Structure 1
Amino acid sequence: MNLQNRRDSIKENGFTIVNSIFSEEEIEKISEVIQNIDTSKETFRKSEDLFAIRQFLKEVPGVQDLIFNEKMKTMIREIFGDRYFVVKSIYFDKPETSNWYVAYHQDLTISVDQKKPLEGFGPWTTKQNQFAVQPPLEDLENIYTIRIHLDDTDENNGALKVIPGSQTKGIYRPETIDWTTETEAICPVESGGIMIMKPLILHGSNRTTNGKRRRVIHIEFSDRELPDGLNWAEKIVIAN
């Protein structure tokens, strides 16, 4: 894979889309593992319009080898660098009846193992013993996110919409978007494809209009350790 153009796109636009990372058979195997898990744990959230698993790779260890196939490992190594590791993973299933609208936002928090007063870290949130905090800007700028799509996703069933280039502008409040200078891009991804993005890119999604399911595995990566005994809640090193 020639990945220089992917690196350039992420640097300039804040995202890139790569289809055919997983075969149809691989997607079926991943889906099968997810279907067979115990959903009673507190890291699982289930409602009529959303099913989510936090710390997905920890909670569903059988899925790791399926997700980190050779294509994925090459993408991570060549685009991010060989020192990057997983720091957060979430599985989202928005079923056919779900009609969520997600307003433009940046992903500004990281998941950590404890609440600890540290300069440059804050505000903090705690949900079900899960600690999240907004770290210094340079830590956010260092993170990459991969979104693995288990279903075809387009503008009709909640594909992400982004503002290209917004990841270079620091903390960017959605209410200050100047639509005379900014443009919006819709990011369709095929089943088996991935979207790589920087968490600081402004992104959101529209309501679904075609009643089709959209399942996404969201994984964040960093190559930095946190200061003063603070640790990532979910650090997973990917075997080569």
Structure 2
Amino acid sequence: MSLKDLELYKSHIHEYGFSVINTVFSEGEIEKIIDVLNSIDTSRENFRKSEDLFAIRQFLKEIPEIKDLIFNDNIKRIIKDIFGEKYFVVKSIYFDKPETSNWYVAYHQDLTISVDKKTELSGFGPWTTKQNQFAVQPPLNVLENIFTIRIHLDDTDENNGALKVVPGSHAKGIYRPETIDWTVEKENICKVEKGGIMIMKPLILHGSNRTTNGKKRRVIHIEFSDMELPEVLQWSERMN
């Protein structure tokens, strides 16, 4: 990845709200990550298991041994050159959409952040609590500042739940999905190769379809920010 390439990705994300970069991980690196995932005890409480989805919240905290495998030289360079010098992890989730999954996700924006406690704070709300984890909708500038990296452990296209996005919608503030005007907006399906990544801004309208080709879709989703929250609040998964 040359500096010129990274500049192109950066400007694409700025303009459209997303970008796909393939071959960020080698085949061997992906196999090592999968080996760790295959060896974990899946009964812990931060793990969510159903026929349609297996998910691990606070992924990097739950599986700390995977950190060195994920933050290879390519990812470190992407974070530094595309996001900025001071970005750190604020949230991480692992999703496994099995081959037979009927799981689909309607168009939405990612409007909440994970924090350490619930407190009355101007501009923050509504709040949700799941399994002692606190999520809140913060002021818009906090959301606008976040970048998400989605690491793909499988080839992903429209047949096994690749994300579909509305390019440019990240720059329109809070955008209710029911108000999408399809005479103006376009849909883009983000195909990503195994070992590739998708970078997106959480405010981009995104969703995914059901799996129809009987292939797995495993994704590691990590969010980054360089903003400190008001003193009384901390990012619950902050990690440099």
**Superposition TM-score, scaled by structure 1 size:** 0.98
1:43 to 2:65 alignment: no
Aligned to 2:207: 204
Residues 1-240 of structure 1 mapped to structure 2, 5 A cutoff: 1-2=2-3, 3-237=6-240
Letter of the aligned partner of 2:125 in structure 1?
Answer: G
What CA distance in whole angstroms lies between the structure 2 residues aligned with 1:47 and 1:181?
Answer: 37
Q: Deviation digits for residues 188-222 of structure 1, max 9, x if unmatched?
A: 00000000000000000111110100000000000
Q: Deviation digits for residues 100-155 of structure 1, max 9, x if unmatched?
A: 12110000000000001100000000011010000000000000000000000001
- Per the alignment, in what secondary structure is the counterpart of residue 218 of structure 1? strand
Letter of the aligned partner of 1:145 in structure 2?
Answer: T
Letter of the aligned partner of 1:213 in structure 2?
Answer: K
Structure 1 residue 228: Cα displacement: 2.8
What CA distance in whole angstroms lies between the structure 2 residues aligned with 1:34 and 1:21?
Answer: 19
What CA distance in whole angstroms lies between the structure 2 residues aligned with 1:83 and 1:146?
Answer: 16
Letter of the aligned partner of 2:48 in structure 1?
Answer: R
What CA distance in whole angstroms lies between the structure 1 residues aligned with 2:103 and 2:131?
Answer: 23
What CA distance in whole angstroms lies between the structure 2 residues aligned with 1:33 and 1:103?
Answer: 31
Stretch moving more, 38-47 or 175-184: 38-47
What CA distance in whole angstroms lies between the structure 1 residues aligned with 2:41 and 2:116?
Answer: 23
What CA distance in whole angstroms lies between the structure 1 residues aligned with 2:210 and 2:56?
Answer: 21
- Per the alignment, in what secondary structure is the counterpart of residue 172 of structure 1? coil
The Cα RMSD (Å) is 0.6
Q: Deviation digits for residues 36-79 of structure 1, max 9, x if unmatched?
A: 11222211111111110000001001100000000000000000
What CA distance in whole angstroms lies between the structure 2 residues aligned with 1:168 and 1:47?
Answer: 35
Structure 2: give runs of 5+ residues left out of the alignment. none
Letter of the aligned partner of 2:166 in structure 1?
Answer: I
Stretch moving more, 37-46 or 67-76: 37-46
Query: How many residue pairs get matched?
Result: 237
Structure 1: give runs of 5+ residues left out of the alignment. none
- Per the alignment, in what secondary structure is the counterpart of residue 66 of structure 2? helix
- Per the alignment, in what secondary structure is the counterpart of residue 65 of structure 2? helix
What CA distance in whole angstroms lies between the structure 2 residues aligned with 1:214 and 1:186?
Answer: 15
Identity of aligned pairs, percent? 75
